[in-house]
Amino acid sequence: MEETGSAAAFDRMGTLGIEEEFYVVDEYGRPTSGSDELVYEREPPEILEGRLDHELFKTVIETQTPTIESFDDARDVFDDIRNALVRHASASGFQVAAAGLHPLAKWRELEHAEKTRYRSQLERIQYPQHRNTTAGLHVHVGVDDADKAVWIANELRWHLPVMLALSANSPYWDGFDTGLASARAKIFEGLPNTGMPTAFDSYDDFAAFERRMVESESIDDRGELWFDVRPHSGHGTVEVRTPDGQQDRDIVMGFVEYVHALVVSMAQRYEDGESNTRMRREVLNENKWRAIRHGHDAELLTRDGETASLGTVVDQECSRLGIDGVQRIYERESGAHRQRRLRQQAGVATLADDLLLVNDA
C-alpha cells in the first residue's frame, strides 16, 4: 500500500464498493484460525482472487467487491462474492459468521496474523490492538472531485450515529454481556485515529494531515486512518466504516442504499454551492454514544436542539432520500436484541448458528 494517496484518484461519481469482515469458525460455530489457509494456502474461486484478505486475528477474514458501476448492480455482485466465500470456506472445512463482535471470541485465546503490517501495529499500539476482535461493514462510494469528497465526508458525520444505531449487532465481547448495543464501536475506538473525525477544510487540508501522520511515524500508511468516515485517497471514494458486521444480506444492502443515496444527494448540494454544516464534534460524539449504548432504542440529539427517536429520524431520512432499506432495518428486531434473546432462550450454540452465512445460490 502506498503511504499516502492522491487527489487524482477521485475521478468517478457514484460507483460502489463493499468490504465485509467476517469470522472464520469451526463446525461448532466457534472462532478458529483459518485465514492463512483460506487466503494463502488454498486457491480461492476466481471471483475472490485479489479480493480476499485476512485481518489482525487469524479468525477474521475480509472480502472486497470489485468496483460496482451503479446501485442497481450492487446486489448481484454482493451475492456472488458472499456465495463464493461460503463455498471456499466449506471446501476447507470452515464456516463463516458475521457480527460486529463474535459472542464466543475471547481475544486472549486467538492467534494474531503474522503479516508484517499487523505485527507493526501490535508493537506500536499494544493492548488496544491486541484485543481488537472487531468486524465491520465498509461502504465506498466514488466521488469525482477530491474537494467534493472531503465536503461530503464532513457532512456524512451527522448521519453516522443513525447507521451505527441501526446496525448495532455486538452486545457480547470476550464472553460477557457488555450492556451495550454495539460494543464493537467502543472497542474499536480504543485504537488511535478512530471514531468521529474533525472536519477538514479541503482536500489539501486532509492530504497535509495524512502526510504529517506518515512522516511523523504515527501511522505506517494512509490505511491506518481508521475514522468512521474518510475520503479514501487511494480508491477515490468516500468510505463509511460505521456499521457492525451483519449476517443478513438485506441489512447490508439497506446500508449500501443509504450511504449511496446520501453521497449522491450531498454531491448535488456541493455542486449547488452549499457551505458545510457547522457541527460540534461533541454533539456528534454524544449521538454516537447513544447509538452504542441503546441501538434501535436510541434518542438522538437533533440540529434544532431537540431530541428525536431513531424511528423518527429514519422516517425523515427515507422520505427525504426516496429510499426504504433502512426503514425495513429499523422495523425488524435489532441485532443486539436478537443475540440476547437467542442466548437467553436457546443458548450460545443456537446464537452461534444464527450468525452463520449461507450460500443462497
pLDDT digits (tens, 9 = 90+) for 292-350: 999 999 999 999 999 999 999 999 999 999 999 999 999 999 999 999 999 999 999 99
pLDDT digits (tens, 9 = 90+) for 5-62: 799 999 999 999 999 999 999 999 999 999 999 999 999 999 999 999 988 999 999 9
pLDDT digits (tens, 9 = 90+) for 104-149: 999 999 999 888 889 999 999 999 999 999 999 999 999 999 999 9
Q: Whole-angstrom Cα distance, residue 284 to residue 28?
A: 40
pLDDT for the residue numbered 65: 98
CA distances from 103 to 72, 133, 244 (A): 34, 10, 13
pLDDT digits (tens, 9 = 90+) for 197-216: 999 999 999 999 999 999 99
Helix (H, G, I), strand (E, B), or coil: what is residue 356? strand
Cβ-based neighbours of 18, under 8 Å, separated by 6 or more: 64, 65, 68, 74, 77, 78, 81, 137, 138, 139, 140, 252, 256
Cell 431530541 found at: 307
Write down all domains in the chain, each with its CATH number in brackets. 7-354 (3.30.590.20)
Give me the amino acid identity at 276. N
Do 324 and 258 meet the contact criterion of CB atoms below 8 Å apart? no
pLDDT for the residue numbered 2: 64
